[in-house]
Amino acid sequence: MSDETDELPEGVETRRRTRWSGLVGLTLARWRQRATGTTAGRIASTVGAVALTIAFLLVVTGIALALADGGATSRDDADVRITPTEGSTLSSVDGVEGPRLGATNERAGTIRSHDGVEHASPVLVETARLESTDGDPRTVRLVGVVPDGESRTVAGLPTDRLEPGDSHYANGSYDGPRNGEIVLSRTAADRLDASGGDELAVSRGPMQSNETAVTVTVAAVGDGGGGGGGKGSEGGAPIALVHASELQSLSGAADGQLADRVLVWGNSDAAQSAATDAYPDASVEIAGTADPTALFEDGLAFATSVIALIVGVTICASFVATTMGMTVDEDRRTLAVLESIGVPTRGRLAVVAISTGITTFVGSLVGIVFGAGGIVGVNAIASATIAPGAVAQFHPLFVPYAIAVALLSGLVAVPYPLAVAARTSVLSEVGR
């Protein structure tokens, strides 16, 4: 008795797997035949609608990712970037300011000593007020770097306009001579009505301060064009480069040698290895890549991505529901034939659901190609008009993301074609 009970479920299970394998194979064969046969236009339109929706979603998400990955102050030509991660870094004002890397000047020097590394520099970003002798004070984003005399770019500005080295650091004592130099972006220079050789008083913070201001001399104005966002400009951002240790002393970041990130130039593999050795718990990124988690840290970018996702799923599901419903309606005779040869209702509905899933999956693959091409096109247009660098980024995680969104849209849309299929019967088709 016990043996018979054990054998029966196994046989049922085998028949069930065989039946489902047959349904999947039948659906794939029918989908391929319809995609290349008389209903090719309808299948192509459904795939195209899914592809365009996915492409739109990827382009918007790519732009949001680029924005979240950093603004004008993050534009540089470094090969490797070291950025802090939560719990493994220091912050000058915990809970108010973002996390920062510690001992950056010292560790940047260690990184520079590695073979294959050309240069490494801590980068500190602070807001300050600059005031010329005959002008109103203006708020400017100061970016502290350690220049080395080579032609490099940080925050979209050339670092070689500053004196090489960082004499004020003085091996961590911060009592060395100040260079007192500053390189202004075109927008900052226009706002301050300053040019090369002018002296500017610096005070930290957006509010007026009565403290004695540090004076700096304009070494150069960025060659990036006008503040109207010409080619190569900072997109209208008032930014200025200064020596890192002087900004650290001004902002209070000298205690702990804090910086927002460390940039490394040189061979990518060597720079990455040296960066990982110096900061084993920090995030080390090779240039050209982006951290997708940055989307969750930027409220506006995250909201934009969520809105694009909702719009994308809604539009995609609407197209899929409509076109697949029409396709199933035209295919009622085939469903009646399946019923007449003994395929149960659940099996016929499975054929419709699998067919919808195949359509959305193929659409997602085409959409990924279109989306990647769209991001390249957006960057090309932006580079030729208003931005010095990429304004949208593609990440490998976009591939599973796009497929998941397409399949979710298909899942939302599938009840309608299933309802059309459920109303189909042999008797109703005989009567047509």
DSSP string across 241-308: EEEHHHHHHHHTTTTTT-BSEEEEEE-HHHHHHHHHHH-TTSEEEETT---TTHHHH-HHHHHHHHHH
At 85 the pLDDT is 74
pLDDT score for 231: 39
pLDDT at 98: 66
Rounded Cα–Cα distance for residues 111 and 115 (Å): 9
d(CA 200, CA 184): 11
Res 111: pLDDT:
92
Question: Using the 8-state DSSP alphabet, how is residue 212 labeled?
Answer: P
pLDDT at 332: 77
Q: For position 29, what pLDDT does the model report?
A: 82
Q: Encode the chain (432 residues) as per-residue pLDDT tens digits.
A: 444 455 555 666 777 777 778 778 888 887 887 777 766 777 788 888 889 989 988 888 888 887 776 666 677 788 888 988 765 555 444 445 567 888 899 999 999 999 989 999 999 988 888 887 666 788 888 899 999 988 888 888 889 889 998 999 988 889 889 888 999 988 888 888 888 888 888 876 544 445 556 888 998 887 654 444 443 444 456 788 999 999 998 888 888 899 988 999 988 888 889 999 999 888 888 776 666 666 776 677 788 888 888 888 888 888 888 888 888 887 777 777 777 787 788 888 888 888 888 889 998 999 999 999 998 888 778 766 655 556 777 888 889 999 999 889 888 888 888 888 887 766 666 655
What span, in angstroms and rounded, lies between the C-alpha atoms of 59 and 367?
Answer: 10
Q: What pLDDT does residue 1 have?
A: 44
Dihedral (CA of 19, 21, 27, 32) sign: negative
* Helix, coil or strand: residue 158: strand
Predicted local confidence at residue 195, as pLDDT:
84
- pLDDT of 100 reads 86
Q: State residue 2's pLDDT score.
A: 46
Cα 72 from chain centroid? 15
